[in-house]
Amino acid sequence: MQYGHFDDAAREYVITTPFTPLPWINYLGSEDFFGIISNTGGGYTFYRDAKLQRIIRYRYNQPGGDVGGRFVYIKEKDKNAWSPSYLPCKTQLDEYKCRHGMGYTVFEGKKDGLSAVDTRTVPMGENCELWKIVITNDSAQTKELSLYGAVEWCLWNAVDDNSNFQRNLNIAEMEIGDSVIYHKTEYRERRDHYAYFAVNTKTDGYDTDRDTFLGRMNTWSTPLKVAHNESGNTLARGWFPIACHRIDMTLQPGESREMVFILGYGKNPRDAKFVAPGVIAKTDAERVIAKYADNAAFDTEMAKLRAHWDELLDIYTVESDKAEMNRMVNIWNQYQCMVTFCMSRSASYYESGMGRGMGFRDSCQDLLGFVHLIPSSARERIIDIASIQWESGATYHQYQPLTKRGNDEIGSGFNDDPLWLVACTAAYIRETGDSSILEAPVPFDNVEGSEVPLMEHLRRSVNFTIENRGPHGLPLIGRADWNDCLNLNCFSEEPGESFQTCANFESGIAESVFIGGMFVKYAPEYAELCERYGDPEEGARIRQAAKEMEQAIIEHGWDGEWFLRAYDAFGKKI
């Protein structure tokens, strides 16, 4: 079945049916504010960290499609409501199209003589997501309708939001302004940030209580208030908070109406959180709302975004006689490299963003394809990654992007990790020529006062492999290598216990041929840095170690026909 096609001129993938095998998602944002959005409108947004500062809710294992987070309804009187993204309403559309582009997504829907174009993006330099919605009456009759834009708030910590219900059902706090709803849960007690949902036009109603808006036993597909073209004008205290704006309109034949919704994040100094008792300081929100009061400001932001991607993608291009090759290399592979640099698999349709943070290995690998795009960001990321390394040369397997601290909630001790730091640093220097990074002071485990030059971190990375070898002279695998599930030292009889967090049986026997191959490749790259920048003796030592590792692989990692993958904790070949 054909689900869509590439539009190379526009740098878009055009999806022509909502019934894709799975939600096909795009990523919005490239700095601090991010969102994932599917071809039917599902997904969520967050500020820097998908676990600790999740802004809207999304339920991964729900049936019936990826309904969650953001919602748009168009409701004529005496007709069924519909959504240009198909979901959440599930009303059959006369026409449907979704266009995933470079940092934006567009939904185009038609129903009963009305057409709607809904464009979503995260503007550069701002902590918000914009929705520009244009509704046109294509019929010969006057149309009276209501437009609803809604979000369901997450109570910030995505894990706690999905588990601690006895607490969370009591803590939600909202504040209502002119065409804006503020989410200020926990702001009074211990947070210095808030979220808001605004629209740049006069509203005719609002809701902040989910159950009032949906109605008892209803879902987001069939909200009670939408069915009656009305709002509850509720102020939620506890339970399930939302933000919903209703705009009523009458459209003459051929007439269009457009507006911009703003889903944003604001922050205040802790000593300037309020302007009056119970009234939060709204400087960040008011500035952004004022900026997009004119619809033309949205078009300006889209032009900036397109120019940004024009500049990035012009850095490296290929020309071949294969359109598919040109498309992959010149557009989508580079776009994907930007996405993985920003999120490092910490948030996607498969990764909930609730536990792992950003991977050490993942982030190092991502740099290999990203460094040519924005070298300054690559340099900063290398230093962030190296800062969670331990003095032994080993490292946390993940770190939280909000705090930039190591995170071992899903385990550490993956013995391939240290060598990836060598790989990405060498790649950065080859691309930029910036060897000054080797002298940058970098702490161990983010401990102030422990700073040493980055070059020392690389030395300890390489030495970690040299000093942790097994009976065949191959690197010990630790908890696992690049294959996170190859947990050859991990044994558990406890149901539900992760093999990546259970007690690690350090046999001193389980070895990885893969890490050996990594060492043969990346140790000489470290040696070259040593030789080039004043330490030839260290370079010679490492080159000799690489030769010894290569010989160990040939003698003990090759069975005469195939390379082995590993030796397990009992010395058996894998």
pLDDT at 503: 67
- Residue 79, classified by CB atoms within 10 Å of its CB into exposed (0-12), middle (13-18) or buried (19+), is middle
Q: Is 193 left (phi over 0), alpha (psi -120 to 50) or beta?
A: beta
Q: Do residues 425 and 462 make contact, with C-beta atoms less than 8 angstroms apart?
A: no
Collect all residues with Cβ–Cβ distance below 8 Å to 110 and sequence separation of at least 6: 93, 94, 95, 96, 116, 138
pLDDT at 413: 85
How many other β-carbons are positioned within 10 Å of the β-carbon of residue 281?
19
pLDDT at 260: 99
* Token reading at 538: 């260290």
Residue 567: half-sphere exposure toward Cβ, Cα within 13 Å? 23
Q: Do residues 31 and 124 make contact, with C-beta atoms less than 8 angstroms apart?
A: yes
Catalytic residues: 484
Integer Rg of the chain from CA: 27
Q: Do residues 96 and 108 make contact, with C-beta atoms less than 8 angstroms apart?
A: yes
pLDDT at 505: 63
Q: Do residues 511 and 447 make contact, with C-beta atoms less than 8 angstroms apart?
A: no
Q: Do residues 475 and 469 make contact, with C-beta atoms less than 8 angstroms apart?
A: yes
Domains of the chain from N-terminus onward: 4-310 (2.70.98.40), 322-567 (1.50.10.10)
Mean pLDDT split into 10-residue runs, the chain, 574 residues:
96 98 94 95 93 92 81 96 97 98 98 98 98 98 98 92 88 95 92 97 98 95 97 94 98 98 96 89 96 98 97 96 96 95 82 78 92 95 96 91 76 90 98 97 96 98 97 94 84 72 75 97 98 95 98 96 94 93
Q: Do residues 461 and 518 make contact, with C-beta atoms less than 8 angstroms apart?
A: no
pLDDT at 59: 87
List 175's β-bridge partners, or say none.
Answer: 182
pLDDT at 410: 67
Q: Is 37 left (phi over 0), alpha (psi -120 to 50) or beta?
A: beta
pLDDT at 500: 64
In order of 2, 89, 396, 518, the CA distances from 507 in angstroms are: 52, 56, 21, 22
Indicate the length of the chain as a whole number: 574
pTM: 0.92
Q: Do residues 359 and 398 make contact, with C-beta atoms less than 8 angstroms apart?
A: yes
Q: Do residues 354 and 52 make contact, with C-beta atoms less than 8 angstroms apart?
A: no
Phi, psi (deg, nearest 5) at residue 512: -115, 120
